[in-house]
Structure 1
Amino acid sequence: MAKSELKDYMLRNGGSVALDCVKWSYKFDHLHGDSQGWSEASLEITTKGELIMDGDAVMIPSLQKCEVQLFPEPRVLKVKSLDLKCVFIKTQQSEFEPLLSCLMVWQNLKPQGFYNKYSFNRSIVHDENLRTNDLLVCRFRVYGPAPNYKKIQLSGLPKTPLYPSEDKQTEGWFTAMGYLKHDGILDLLCESDGALLYSVDITKLYCSEIRPLHHSLFQQPNILFVGRINELRRTHRYANEIDSEDEAPFILKNNRPFSSIHRILIQFDLGIDLKDWIVALKTFAKIEYIGNRFTKDRMRLVKNYKLEVVEAKFKNPSLDQNLHLYVELHMWGGPWYRTAIVKNSNQNPFWKELFDLDPPPSAEFFTLLLKSSSNSSVYNLTEEDPVIAGAFVTPDFMSEPQMMKKLPLYGEQSHEIGSVTINLSLREVHIMSYHNYRMFEGMMKGIDVRDLLQFVNPLIEPQNVDDLSQMLLDIYQSVNMEHEYFEHLMSFELESLKNSGSKRHSTSLTNNLNTLFRGRSLLSTSLEKYQIRIGQEYLEKLLGEFIGQICAENLICDPNPKAYPTTYEEHYQNLLNYVEELWNRIYTTSNDLPEELKQEWGRLRSKVEHSVDPSDTETPLNALCSFIFLRFLCPAILNPKLFNLSRNHQLGRVSKTLTLIAKVLMTLANRSQFAPHKDPELLRLNEDFLSKRNDELRLYCDRISGRKMDFTEKKLEMTNTMGKPSLDASEEILSELPSRSYLIDKYLRLAEFASLLDSKNSETIVSTESKRKSVMSELKLDLLGLDDTDFGSRDFIKTLLEDGDDELNQLILEKQSINLEDLKRQASVVVAKTKALEQAISETELPSDFTSDSFMEFVNTILKAARIDRDHCLVYDLTGNENGSLELFLKNRRQSANSPRVNSKHLKEQVNKSGSAQSVSTLRNSVSSASLSSPKSTFKKLFKRRSIT
């Protein structure tokens, strides 16, 4: 039977079939062709996917994503539903093909539930209608298989803990030129002569497999993981799905396999290059989403977990207090995050480290391993650090926020040895295609920022000021309006302070301004985040080497004569040398500061000057210095690990030195001096440093705020002075990815802010009925032929999601002004569309969802992807590569029906020789029973040698 016959049945019957008489059974011995008794009945598969016998006996209520197994015995097949209900069916010769074609349709439709609709688009290189990138070239370090080229020097350090080679292939770090081509192939070239070392096929990867590594993993920044994560892929799939590209060569040379290793690591010199290449590489990868590729109903799912590892407590007092401990977070069979290494003080090691986890949609659980290091600052120094204990963070635990939650720690013998305390929060956002936000984005750009601030200001509370400030900053920066945003934000907050106090009491106003500069308002938080985002590279180049020098020298800088009566003079000189060196670095690199920061600092100084008495020159300087020193330079000095300036948190002597340096720098910034009753040991710095550098400080402030020309020679080779390579890809692709340079997800932020506006819109919370009519009126649904009774129907959802309101949108955007109520109503439209699309995607997939054209495409895809695995199960290749095993099986089955009985073992061997895929028997989204129900026994696999006790 040719596939064309199956296609005819599919198109004709559309997934339903009615057979007058079949035989069925719950058990069948395919080796002998026997069952425990066949029963005869009529069979019907309905348009909803129900398998019914004898008119009313529902054998399987939902056939979506069912498994179908074919047997050499003519006309016998097994159907297994997602809820594990099984039935064997034997048909007449003429009825087998209609039944099989019908089941194949339902095998490729998905069950009810939003999270059951994971899907992806193939690489952009397979779509002639989408535009690819311009070429990108960059010099970087690579960790991967040895190139076997005499001009390449291989370094084994630092070793990678992520998916080491199983067959002991030689790997290491080497320098190469990366050349990303139009076809998605990344060529690695020898730096000296341009010879091809080998190539990496990016088109074989999913977007979630291109991941920046947390700096703790290698204790170095700017490292990108690029490779296949098999365990992650398995969580995406149903039992009847495979991907033939799972085993396809990933590392090639001249189009031939070069290595069986399925990942490389790339380390960039600069963070700006890392972010550019993340976006560039992902444009060639498979883009993941929730939805249906044929009906075009799809959404992007963004999950963000904030995990804070607080501390551990042990029951066993015999655990060595001199152990150096850290926590390692494992996902998909490998480590992805590590805390700092701390001592086991009083059986209570303390970290309080916060990690931002951005897992793909299918991520369900992870493991926390407590490890012991032989070194106080380096992981796995000589060999793999031993595991002491571990804890599971399971799906039910991850479904809601957790505060100060104690997870049991299980040791090697599955005994509970203590607990680890964590905080966990989840943010999940469902994002529609970019064109659904065009109107809302245009109105955000057109509305008076002051109106928006009037709305946001009453909502600000200590617990949400970070999120609100980040959301607004991301939106305005992504549309290149951040300077306009800060212009209005500064005016708004300064006017609010000015109006809150009497104009006759200038002292009160000055105090309020100083409170604003040191507090956590929307302005202070937004500008602080902007400074760190724009100035991160400057901080790294200004302070990285300096802090490394302090850590290496480990000098005592405490000049307290009571604590050090014989050496305090030496300590004082150490401190003075450090602050002089740091100030010289700061003062002589004023021209290296990014122009964007100088522009905002100059604006802030001018705004404050217009808010205070003309004779008051100190308050504007206080404002400027508070942002430069209090919120930018000093935090990086006090906590360099948070700014990727050091490997670990600084403790003891180094921490004390950094605190003293930051204290002296802040005193200089305040144009004040140390007082005898507070800091007697630092009094000498008033004369030796502060008084000498006061004029330089004022000149520095004038330069960076645009008051005086800055002719200082540039020293740091900042990338803001270098030309950026272009990245020319289709809007359809780039809209699914974060922006370059700062990885801002514009449509994520627009979706979040629309939700916030809608939740506060009084017109939409009066009642469900009024909300429905408001949204329908806004969308002109009456003109589309729908009345109020259509709400929630498939026709309503389809019409709501159609982007046919361009003329109306243009008229609104061309209004002379857009007010807050306009924006709120549009936000409600966005939210209504989002909920309607969520509802549409969540529903059970049916053949009736398709148009005639999309169903034809669906059927063609099914027939191309179908294949028989070694267990004679009918599976489908997600990549769509055809291998002929189904054709061969059906041909042999037809021959056996017209000839004496063929030995089933011989027939099975024939199918296996056709190159069919391995059987996939694990249900999608299943979690190992050992991982969830028996965590204690699972931990036995995590220990490579005896734990330390």
Structure 2
Amino acid sequence: MVYQSTFHKTILRDKGLFDGKNFLISTDSIKWVYIYSLSITEQGQLYSTDQQNNHYLLLQSLQSCSISIQQKSTTPNTNSSSTKTSKYSRKNSVQDSIEDEPPIIFIKTFENDKLYIKVPSRLNFGNLLSSLLVWQNLKPQGLAKKWYNENKIKKINQTIDGSIHELLVCRFKVYGPLPNKFTKNLNVVKGPKAPIYQPKIDDLNGKIPTDLNTVPQLDSNINEGWFYAMGALNSNGILNFISELDGTLLYSIDIKKLLSSEIREIHNSIFNSSNVLFLGHLKELRFNNLIRTINHLNADQLFLGNPFLTRDGKIINSNSRIFIEFPLHIDLEDWFVGLKYFAKREYIGLFDSDSSKLSNEPNYKQQLSDFNKSNFRVSKKVLIDIIEAKFDTTHKQNQGKIYAEVRMWGYPWSRTAIVNFTNNPFWKEEFQTDLPISTQMIHILIKRSSNNDYSNNDKIIGTVYVTPDILTKQVKTSSTIMTSNDSSGIQVNNSIPLQNSLSLNSNNYNYNYNNNNNNNNNNNNNPTSLDIVRLTIYDLNDIPIGKLLIQVNLKEYHILPPNFFKPFEKMLINAPMKDLIKFCNENAPSSDFERVSIVLLDIFQSLKVEDAWFKSLMENELINIDNITRKSYVEKNEEKKNNSSHNNVFNTLFRGSSIFSKSLEKYNLRIGQEYLEKVFGSFFAKISFERKNCEVDPRYVKIQERAIRKGKPLNDDLFNFDDDDDEESSTDEEYDSEFEKEKDETIKKMVEENFQNLLSYAEEIWNKIYITSNDLPQQIKIQLKNFRTKVELVCDPNDKITSLNCLSAFIFLRFFCPAILNPKLFYLAKNHQTGNTQRTLTLIAKILLNLANRQEFSPYKEPHLVKMNTFLRRHQNEVLDYFDKITGRKNDFNEKILDLSHEVKRFDLGLDELSNELPTTPYLIDKYLRLTEIIYLLDYNKYKNNGSSSSTSTPFTSPSKDTLTISSSQQNHNYDLDTKKLTDLHLNEKNSYQIGSLEFEKSEFLDLVGDNETEGFIKSLCKGNEDIFSFINSNITLKDIQKQSTKILNKIYQLETFLENYEFPKNFNKDLTLWEVFTNDILSRTYLDLSRNSIVVLDTLPPNNNYRRFVDDHALTKLNLKFITNSEENESNKNELQQKLQQQQSNSNYSTIANTTNRISSSFSSNSLGSVLKSNGSKNPFKKWLRK
């Protein structure tokens, strides 16, 4: 380095330590106490020492402390001699009578402890300030405070000839600014109004107009709209939007300046589309990432000078966000991964003794980002199920509609369906998303709509606060969410937990919540551990108006870098899958079967061995059936009895919950989602639009006929009428045979008309399914083919029916029929289907299920549907033909008519290994999250003693670990300046957990060898070609996988402990280069805020600021600091000073502290800081000052 300031040299030398003598301290800047010695330890503790060497703790932790410098001057005595003298003489006399006090360093710790320190010596001032600058840039306690982001892309991806190339190109629909110059070149289209940014509802209180309308927070001068454009993501991370008409560049976004969490999928309820991405600045999210004690910028200042949209280097005015709607979900998946590849990735991490350089290029100026950190990625998936609201009876009722909106960072991310505004509106709708690390609270707004469409001007009825205490109820590991027990926790309302069983007034839903108390050891028997709560709804005046019943489930996992999982991945590829299935069946709680199934499916699908996984699942599921079938051959005398038992087993086998049934169901829905949208989407829209009556049950038709006769509309409440309520049957009037005959004829006519409507719909939907047999995704066909073959192998050779019934259980019962019964759940309809429409869909699902099972309606059970048996018989051969086609028994000559994306060849993004931690394409599976989830279930330590988890395992959904004890010196305490002696303070004790190597020392093969020479040989072979040892991989046991799971789990626990603790200078001590780079980094980002005289740490400067660079701009000269002395005093002056201080401060109860070692630096001499700090040259530093 060409130039090093005195601060550079002092920080490099002292590494945050400090020892000095003769200070005055205060907690309120009024009462001051003399301190003999002041010291800062390597743990960041500030303590004093008296002359008897007694130690007293002043501040527990200095990490991320706030520092400001104050200078007080005395006022001239106005009562001094009025003798007239020359102007020059009077000036000199006043100058002599005035002595400026020494500067004051004010320290406020992250825990909000405060201390004022008067520093008379320039030497001590410089050394103390240098030390405090170090601690200001070290992180406080808590995982969330170790957040950082980095661009993994160090170099611009270029082609061989050095030019930048396009990674992704797509024609999509954009909602953003409409450039005035290019409006004629844009294909502007109509579309839903995009949601706008609004401040947090807390900030709106008292500012809402009397009409209770929300205040739009956007620039009205920006003309926005939907238009088609060509998007090109280049290899340098620049996203260009190009006019599709003439190729003009509209504007660009530098993706490298976005956080990964600022690229988000938009829920289907916002735009009625599942193919929309959000790109933009979330200023509240970024503001939450700041440590407020060292950075005084507000949320708006963070983005000043940081444009979102540009064109040819010029800033384009925008609302700092755009929405992109892709034509296919497959396009969204590719772009989602491609964009996140270039964005800033977010981690929890610190430097440690193992931190090393990422690059060893010569003549390269090292930066702090060139050193790796011990880190993990955080996954926080939250599921919010908004069930119902219950308003107080005193609440004023309004006409119209009502809905709930989930809002974070000023934007809505999901909405419920719009329902009637009653005292007890019911929704039962789920919303799931990924929470960024810094998110601590979620708002749910209850809004009133005047019609069936959402609007930015919908009125707010109330707000619900989902606080950290609610979010973390099910989280038992270290969490990045700060609860009310933390120093900065948030608590708004008290939740009301519900009992284990919850009954709601709805015939459509049965709830069994939190049934995880079997086969687990959570030791949480109190009701507050439940995730079903009633939260208070507050109106705009913070007055409670009701309760909202919601289910909140947050799962937080800490994910190590991909290299930690490589051996584990290879073991799972060659895993004994049947042993794994048996283990999960025995140890996973039954309530977790669905989640375990999805996690394992995601793992094996991302490892591309899902076929082998399904094969093992099928064989394991059918093994008992095979035994029954074999037994039936022996017991020939009881053939009928055994056949009955045999059929009963098959009829119920795949209608329950098992890992196989849940896995195949999820797999089919994941692969077939687009197929369902294109086959059923228009059909459901047609039913909702036509609203034809399809009721064929005479009991209900009779009610409809009576309503029509009375002039009442056929609304959704019609089916709540009591059939015995008919006035004709309840009066004593004379029986009118002609009237009854006419009424019966009318009912029969209505039934026949309704039957034809239903038959028409049934014919249409079956035709859609039958003619698209060749469009059904091939992946689904492969599993159905294998499944049919496996079932036939365990059945009687003459039994051709059972295998077809088993096929029906998956393709109809678990695939087609759920989508028909609840289209909104599968994003096939915008709103819930109610009334006649819901009844029509229910009847259609019944008919299709009977058709698939080749079973006619019984005249005893459902006589009103017996007429549909003609339809069933007419299409029975088509059903058999359909089953044969989708399982490969017959050639399918149907033309493909849907043009599904799974038929499109996936484009290889050509991304390097840096993309490993990103979701996989297709289906956006977070492989390493899933691997992290499964290791909590497989942890060997939970089973090695008893061999079973029936009494010792933890629930799969609630990963937990042994309590990690942090020593008392690491806890947050508030200390006053009293006379407590620190008898338990061990200044040289290493009271932080020092994590060891965060790399696997051995591959999965190294446990098989014993000596170093063989180990090195195997390592060298593994680096060359690990397939050489495939024979070893093939012998992997479940115990091996469990032990590897425990290894990874221990690494996570170690890293959590390390990152929960404070950050210390010793983390940088591996080599001098890292500490030197750290020193350069903090001094380059340190500024003096002249408006507050405080020292702040900034990555970028906002325009028109009042900041000065601390070193480069010689910021301290702006404060005109004056000192009593340049160096520490001699012994005679110290004694004189101490006596006078004791006389002046006789009422003080404070003692003194310090280290016996007194390191006096010459770096802050009068020569070295001549231009920076001024002094007067008093020999006795306190004499004149104490006389005042």
TM-score over 0.5 for the pair: yes
Query: How far does the alpha carbon of each residue in 1:166-197 deviate from its partner, in whole angstroms, 9 at most, with x for none?
Result: 22122111111111112211111111221111
Distance 2:106 2:910 in 1: 50
Distance 2:336 2:1006 in 1: 37
Q: How far 1:315 sits from its partner (Å)? A: 2.0
Change (3 A) 1:128 1:99: farther
Alignment pair present for 1:140 and 2:277: no
Please report the RMSD computed on the Cα atoms of aligned residues, expressed in angstroms: 3.1
1:61 corresponding residue in structure 2? 60
Which range moves more in the overlay, 264-273 or 880-889? 880-889
1:498 corresponding residue in structure 2? 626
* Structure 1: stretches of 5+ with no match in the other structure: 29-34, 772-791, 901-949
1:204 corresponding residue in structure 2? 257
Please say if residues 146 and 348 of structure 2, whose CA atoms lie closer than 8 Å, have aligned partners that are also in contact.
yes
Alignment pair present for 1:44 and 2:47: no
Larger radius of gyration: 2
Alignment pair present for 1:858 and 2:1073: no
Distance 2:539 2:899 in 1: 50
1:378 corresponding residue in structure 2? 453
Distance 1:21 1:318 in 2: 66
2:332 corresponding residue in structure 1? 274
Alignment pair present for 1:14 and 2:87: no
2:290 corresponding residue in structure 1? 237
2:1042 corresponding residue in structure 1? 824
Alignment pair present for 1:399 and 2:582: no
Please give the secondary structure, in 2, of the residue aligned with 1:429: strand
Distance 2:860 2:104 in 1: 94
Please say if residues 125 and 284 of structure 1, whose CA atoms lie closer than 8 Å, have aligned partners that are also in contact.
no
Distance 1:477 1:466 in 2: 16
Q: How far 1:419 sits from its partner (Å)? A: 1.2
Please say if residues 654 and 661 of structure 2, whose CA atoms lie closer than 8 Å, have aligned partners that are also in contact.
yes
863, 867, 873: which one pairs with 1:684?
Answer: 867
Which structure carries more relative contact order (alpha carbon 8 Å, separation 6+)?
2
Alignment of 1:912-927 (within 5 A): none
2:547 corresponding residue in structure 1? 419
Q: Specify the code of the residue in structure 2 equivalent to 1:754.
A: I
Between the aligned residues of both structures, percent identity stands at 39
Alignment pair present for 1:306 and 2:383: yes
Distance 1:285 1:623 in 2: 47
Change (3 A) 1:848 1:752: same
Q: How far 1:677 sits from its partner (Å)? A: 2.3
2:1093 corresponding residue in structure 1? 872
Change (3 A) 1:319 1:510: farther
Please say if residues 122 and 879 of structure 1, whose CA atoms lie closer than 8 Å, have aligned partners that are also in contact.
no
Alignment of 1:530-929 (within 5 A): 530-561=667-698, 563=701, 565=747, 566-687=749-870, 689-731=871-913, 733-758=914-939, 761-763=942-944, 798-806=995-1003, 808=1006, 815=1032, 816-850=1034-1068, 851-852=1070-1071, 853-869=1073-1089, 870-878=1091-1099, 885-887=1109-1111, 889-890=1113-1114, 893=1117, 896=1120
Change (3 A) 1:544 1:153: same
Please say if residues 204 and 245 of structure 1, whose CA atoms lie closer than 8 Å, have aligned partners that are also in contact.
no
Query: How far does the alpha carbon of each residue in 1:1-51 deviate from its partner, in whole angstroms, 9 at most, with x for none?
Result: 9753322211111111212334444456xxxxxx76574543211111112
Query: How far does the alpha carbon of each residue in 1:124-156 deviate from its partner, in whole angstroms, 9 at most, with x for none?
Result: 256899999961111111111112211214456
Q: How many residues align?
A: 865
Distance 1:612 1:361 in 2: 53
Distance 1:642 1:309 in 2: 14
Please give the secondary structure, in 1, of the residue aligned with 2:911: coil
112, 123, 126: which one pairs with 1:84?
Answer: 112
Q: How far 1:238 sits from its partner (Å)? A: 0.5
Q: Specify the code of the residue in structure 2 equivalent to 1:802.
A: E
Distance 1:552 1:116 in 2: 53
420, 442, 445: which one pairs with 1:369?
Answer: 445
Distance 1:662 1:44 in 2: 78
Distance 1:839 1:876 in 2: 27
Which range moves more in the overlay, 580-589 or 890-899? 890-899
Change (3 A) 1:317 1:60: closer
1:512 corresponding residue in structure 2? 649
Change (3 A) 1:885 1:694: same
Please give the secondary structure, in 2, of the residue aligned with 1:801: coil
Change (3 A) 1:891 1:798: closer
Alignment pair present for 1:454 and 2:530: no
Query: How far does the alpha carbon of each residue in 1:101-129 deviate from its partner, in whole angstroms, 9 at most, with x for none?
Result: 21111111112223331222136256899
Please say if residues 759 and 765 of structure 1, whose CA atoms lie closer than 8 Å, have aligned partners that are also in contact.
no
Query: How far does the alpha carbon of each residue in 1:583-608 deviate from its partner, in whole angstroms, 9 at most, with x for none?
Result: 12111111111111110000000000
1:109 corresponding residue in structure 2? 138
Change (3 A) 1:128 1:52: farther
Q: Specify the code of the residue in structure 2 equivalent to 1:539.
A: L
Please say if residues 196 and 217 of structure 2, whose CA atoms lie closer than 8 Å, have aligned partners that are also in contact.
no
Q: Specify the code of the residue in structure 2 equivalent to 1:58.
A: L
Please say if residues 145 and 291 of structure 2, whose CA atoms lie closer than 8 Å, have aligned partners that are also in contact.
no
Alignment pair present for 1:522 and 2:599: no
Q: Specify the code of the residue in structure 1 equivalent to 2:443.
A: T
* Structure 2: stretches of 5+ with no match in the other structure: 73-101, 198-215, 356-372, 475-529, 633-641, 706-746, 954-988, 1008-1021, 1125-1188
2:275 corresponding residue in structure 1? 222
Which range moves more in the overlay, 644-653 or 166-175? 166-175
Change (3 A) 1:466 1:860: same
1:945 corresponding residue in structure 2? none
Please say if residues 17 and 46 of structure 1, whose CA atoms lie closer than 8 Å, have aligned partners that are also in contact.
yes
Which range moves more in the overlay, 285-294 or 622-631? 285-294
Please give the secondary structure, in 1, of the residue aligned with 2:405: strand
284, 287, 303: which one pairs with 1:246?
Answer: 303
Distance 2:779 2:311 in 1: 44
Q: Specify the code of the residue in structure 1 equivalent to 2:404.
A: V
Change (3 A) 1:485 1:899: closer
Which range moves more in the overlay, 503-512 or 181-190? 503-512
Looking at secondary structure, tell me which structure has more helix per residue.
1
Change (3 A) 1:550 1:286: same
Q: How far 1:415 sits from its partner (Å)? A: 3.1
What TM-score does the superposition give when structure 1 sets the normalisation length? 0.86
Distance 2:888 2:936 in 1: 40
Please say if residues 501 and 508 of structure 1, whose CA atoms lie closer than 8 Å, have aligned partners that are also in contact.
no
Please say if residues 864 and 880 of structure 1, whose CA atoms lie closer than 8 Å, have aligned partners that are also in contact.
no
Distance 2:800 2:275 in 1: 42
Q: How far 1:87 sits from its partner (Å)? A: 2.5
Q: How far 1:233 sits from its partner (Å)? A: 1.3
Please give the secondary structure, in 2, of the residue aligned with 1:756: helix
Distance 2:1101 2:623 in 1: 62
Distance 1:251 1:680 in 2: 65
Change (3 A) 1:741 1:4: farther
Distance 2:934 2:234 in 1: 37
Q: How far 1:484 sits from its partner (Å)? A: 0.7
Which range moves more in the overlay, 397-406 or 605-614? 397-406
Distance 1:496 1:873 in 2: 75
Change (3 A) 1:435 1:880: farther
Change (3 A) 1:130 1:492: farther
2:350 corresponding residue in structure 1? 292
Please say if residues 395 and 545 of structure 2, whose CA atoms lie closer than 8 Å, have aligned partners that are also in contact.
no
Please say if residues 470 and 552 of structure 2, whose CA atoms lie closer than 8 Å, have aligned partners that are also in contact.
no
Q: Specify the code of the residue in structure 2 equivalent to 1:314.
A: F
2:248 corresponding residue in structure 1? 195
Q: How far 1:291 sits from its partner (Å)? A: 1.2
1:921 corresponding residue in structure 2? none
Q: Specify the code of the residue in structure 1 equivalent to 2:587.
A: L
